[in-house]
Structure 1
Amino acid sequence: AEAFVCDVGDAEQVDALFDHAERALGPVTALVCGAGVLIKGGVADLTGEEWDRTIATNLTGAFLCCRRAFRSMR
């Protein structure tokens, strides 16, 4: 087993992660999007920075990982 670390909200880091993983392990055949953040409190209490971090990780991160995995699976 091997662990890989990256900021899933950063497209360059996601691409580098997949490139490294494919070199080490071969083509992508499955993807589990498990990255996520949860900020305590309600929406009315979130700061703009907390909102941006949540969207970047939970939404953009899933999109970037899926997009890159799909390219590999073609």
Structure 2
Amino acid sequence: MIYKKPICDCGKELIYLEDRIVSTSFKINKNGKVGKRSIEVCEGEMEGHILFCDDCRETYATYYDENERIIRGDRIS
């Protein structure tokens, strides 16, 4: 079967949007405030993912076919 990229109801190709936990570390400066420059950024586990239309802003559930390719699910309200 030929793979077709997921398409929004408006006709535009959907993009894969992935949420991840990101932690950023900062030094505390002399006056007790958070420093301006980060000293470490740690990217954690993935929280979730959706298919997103950059044109009309609709979102869809993400599923995978038997070949682990991304396919579109139902629209998320």
Scaled to the shorter chain, the TM-score interval is under 0.3
After TM superposition, the score normalised by the length of structure 2 is 0.20
Which fold has the larger relative contact order, with Cα–Cα distance below 8 Å and residues 6 or more apart in sequence? 1
After TM superposition, the score normalised by the length of structure 1 is 0.20
Q: Is the helix fraction higher in 1 or 2? A: 1
The structure number with the bigger radius of gyration is 2
